[in-house]
Amino acid sequence: MLLRKIYYRIYQKIVKIVTLFLRFPEPDIISGSDSVKKLPQTIKTKQVKKVLVVTDEVLLKLGLLEGLFQSLKENEVEYIVFDGVRPNPTIQNIEDANKMYINENCEGIIAFGGGSSMDCAKVAAARVSNPNKLVSKMRGLFRVRKKLPPLFAVPTTSGTGSETTIAAVVTDPSTHEKYAINDLKLVPIAAVLDPNLMTGLPKHITSTTGMDALTHAVEAYIGSYGTKFTNNMAEKATKLIFENIERVYKNGKDIEARNNMALASYYGGAAFTRAYVGYVHAIAHTLGGLYGVPHGLANAVILPYVLEYSRKNACEKLAKLAVAGGIGTENETNEELSIRFINHIRKLNENMDIPTKIKEIKEEDITLIAKRALKEANPNYPVPTLMLQKDCEGIVRKLVISAEQNSVSQL
């Protein structure tokens, strides 16, 4: 057990050194109200004449893409729509988008939607340029060999930060596993942060995607890969989320708050794509693969439990985040501030009707959930406190609704 932990820490120190020498690309940002209409001009500058728009049926039916479509026509950029994106996109989902891109002779891709649309578009683009490499063979770090076709991102939620990350998440329905593909080539060349696209989001999507962005910032900050840049991004994201998430939850049409949450999501993405995440994400990915639990919801519920487990070793950093987030002062002790930070997250969840348990978890699956989560996290995630099997099982067990609670909830 001790030797395993020593190995994990040595591995992480080596990866941190390597990461410091990597040059992370950053997308060109187009922001502000109705900024989506400016994207086609950027597309034209890349000499792209036809794009595949990757989105889902719901957004298409809501008419959310009409402004983009009109602007594409005005700028004489042809487009074809793939609206088959499913929550937690599967390998087949990705292959269907890839096939449409090739059959329609497209020259670029627009990812339009939430994290699922981003993931599907990123990996479909990777398959276009790497036709002989299966999706499953891209799993892990830096396994996308060739440069992607021009990829543009239009997020419609403030959560994943995928418009600036090197990550894409894939679900394999044959094994019920959810895993990440991480490569510098997956960063879009341009991203649109348009708050108008987010004003119609349901409350539960606003809350859980916002907490997803907070999880990105927090896990990046308390891990050991942080730099001055990532810490700054995480602090800015935390401050914006603490100041705006309940405000936009109560009034979804608050453009200023929506814009601030879009920026927070971007900052959180910029932080975690360089400094990585932790056990919250590892467990959330596993629950998404096994049960289809929405990623943002899973992160929101799991976050305070994992922070409590890690608090002793992350005390100073959590205290700094509390100050950066505006819920404490430097005159207070790290102990006080770290506890307040975790309690503030619990209070945010409570105020936005986010549960404290995950009803889908089955008692008999706890061992499997912990095993898969640790397979993802160890040694890859530079967490402040390492978990082994029994530790992770203990966290997952806290997420389970007891028989007594279940019977009460059904009354």
pLDDT digits (tens, 9 = 90+) for 257-306: 999 999 999 999 999 999 999 999 999 999 999 999 999 999 999 999 99
**In the chain, domain spans:** 25-198, 200-406
In this structure, the dihedral spanned by the alpha carbons of residues 31, 34, 39 and 41, taken in order and rounded to 10 degrees, is -110
Residue 317: predicted pLDDT = 98
**What is the mean predicted confidence (pLDDT) over 369-378?**
96
pTM for the complete prediction? 0.93
Whether 409 has a pLDDT exceeding 90, the answer reads no
Q: What is the CA radius of gyration of the chain?
A: 20
Whether 385 has a pLDDT exceeding 90, the answer reads yes
How many Cβ atoms from other residues are within 10 Å of residue 315's Cβ?
A: 19
Architecture of domain 25-198: 3-Layer(aba) Sandwich (3.40)
SS (H, E, C) the chain: CHHHHHHHHHHHHHHHHHHHCCCCCCCEEEECCCHHHHHHHHHHHCCCCEEEEECEHHHHHHCCCHHHHHHHHHCCCEEEEECECCCCCEHHHHHHHHHHHHHCCCCEEEEEECHHHHHHHHHHHHHHHCCCCCHHHHCEECCCCCCCCCEEEEECCCCCCHHHCCEEEEEECCCCEEEEEECHHHCCCEEEECHHHHCCCCHHHHHHHHHHHHHHHHHHHHCCCCCHHHHHHHHHHHHHHHHHHHHHHHCCCCHHHHHHHHHHHHHHHHHHHHHCCCHHHHHHHHHHHHHCCCHHHHHHHHHHHHHHHHHHHHHHHHHHHHHHCCCCCCCCCHHHHHHHHHHHHHHHHHHCCCCCCCCCCCHHHHHHHHHHHHHHHCCCCCCCCCCCHHHHHHHHHHHCCCHHHHHHHCC
Residue 408: predicted pLDDT = 41
C-alpha dist (Å) from residue 333 to 37, 231, 298, 323: 49, 20, 30, 11
Interatomic CA distance for residues 9 and 181, integer angstroms: 22
Nearest Cα residue to 154 out of 192, 201, 200, 197: 192
Give the fold, CATH level 3, of 200-406: Dehydroquinate synthase-like, alpha domain (1.20.1090)
- Bridge partners (DSSP) of residue 178 are 171
Whether 366 has a pLDDT exceeding 60, the answer reads yes
**Where residue 411 falls among pLDDT bands split at 50, 70, 90?**
very low
Whether 192 has a pLDDT exceeding 60, the answer reads yes
